[in-house]
Chains A and B, each alone.
Chain A
Amino acid sequence: QQPVQSPQAVILREGEDAVINCSSSKALYSVHWYRQKHGEAPVFLMILLKGGEQKGHEKISASFNEKKQQSSLYLTASQLSYSGTYFCGTENAGNNRKLIWGLGTSLAVNP
């Protein structure tokens, strides 16, 4: 039931791009993306809903393939501040706002 994130870790040079994936074995109602820096609280990045509605930061883009039960987060022209662990949280239909979280993808952006 826990979504699977891939890759587990990514190392980038500043300015490079990355894609982080989140896959579920169950039909999804929504996918949430957050970034967490070490020892801090997760920070909201984006929500994608079944049917195409999205809400999030302008500089972040993501996709949601309902048929494949997958979501991807696209990080372009990465900056040092993008470093952290990225988590997806998935909500199944009828799950009443309860999110199930992946194990995270660690992203390090180096100068």
Chain B
Amino acid sequence: DAGVTQSPTHLIKTRGQQVTLRCSPKSGHDTVSWYQQALGQGPQFIFQYYEEEERQRGNFPDRFSGHQFPNYSSELNVNALLLGDSALYLCASSLPGQGGGYTFGSGTRLTVV
């Protein structure tokens, strides 16, 4: 039973470029959440997708957008990259309505130069 799969594992982009990160949830999970973890910090909630819609959003600018597909996989898009967007981006999947039961992916390490 596959857990959460994220791709790519590492990525280097230039300031001003756009990036797309991908996440496949754990089998049976239909809710996907994205988190940004800057070096030395705890993860910060970006947004959550359920039924192909953004259900909740954290305090991130509109440059951060996402999408969920009918197979529950999800993408995180970041436009006009800034140096400060360099971070580990984590995806977690879950079933809706639970207080927990989250499964995390290994993350995508994004470096903006």
Q: Does A pair with B?
A: no
